Amino acid sequence: MSDEVKLSADGVGATTTRLREVWESAAKRGAGLPGEQTLAEMLGVSRPSLREALARLESEGLIYRRHGAQTAVNSAALEISGRFDRQEDFREILRAAGFTATQDLIRAEQVELSETEAARFGVPTGSPGMRIVKRWRADGIPAQLAIDLFPMTGDEDLDVSESLFSLVASLRGEPVRWEVAVPAAVNATGDIAEWMEVDEGAALLTLECLGVTASGARAFMAFEYFRPNVVRLGLIRSISS
């Protein structure tokens, strides 16, 4: 079988998942990764599939590959439970951290987009939109709140229990390819304080997100609020040599 066929058959995503398990084991031991041939034999995959998976881990800041030397492992990445620089299922982050994770649908309502909101989406003011509020709990404690907003073309029948990305893809006919996120911190007030079950004025970490499709359409806005000290969230920045 050719390498190209093997690459397709192996499935790079599955290879990457298995490689992350090897990375985690090495990171816990403070060791590097074995060479490509050894890794390919360990995982039972082709070398092209393995190289693509290694490239993904390197782009995530988990490893550093050097020609003629052992692949270095970023063991400090184990110190964070979730990544702000990656789109991840927050329930899986909570579960991986040892919590019982649940999700609540607080509100789903059709709205008219304000002048500012409509301008962000490039549609007329007053256009129909959908606002969805969801909350994630860790062992019963509110850990994250998301307020999602996206334009609609009419009275679509939406299953608001679906993920934001699935909803937007079905409306747009194309998936979201990028999410631009700006972090900040706020003092909780009003509904936010009530939904997050914190005192008025309590500090929350926030992300203001904008979803963008490959065609350049701005598909959604989302405001995410995180309760500090529930799970350790962060990002990894690679340093150019």
User: How far is the C-alpha of 145 from the C-alpha of 130, rounded, in Å?
Assistant: 17
Superfamily of domain 82-234: Chorismate lyase-like (3.40.1410.10)
Q: Domain coordinates of the chain in residue numbers?
A: 3-79, 82-234
**Contact of 228 with 183, CB cutoff 8 Å:** no
The model's pLDDT over 13-23, given as tens digits with 9 standing for 90+, comes to 889 999 999 99
pLDDT at 238: 87
- Burial profile 131-164: b = 16 or more Cβ within 10 angstroms, e = fewer: bbbbbbbbeeebbbbbbbbbbbeeeeebeeeeeb
Could you say which architecture CATH assigns to the domain 3-79? Orthogonal Bundle (1.10)
pLDDT at 132: 97
pLDDT at 153: 80
The model's pLDDT over 167-201, given as tens digits with 9 standing for 90+, comes to 999 998 999 999 999 999 999 999 999 999 999 99
Residues of the chain predicted below pLDDT 50 = 1-10
pLDDT at 241: 64
pLDDT at 68: 76
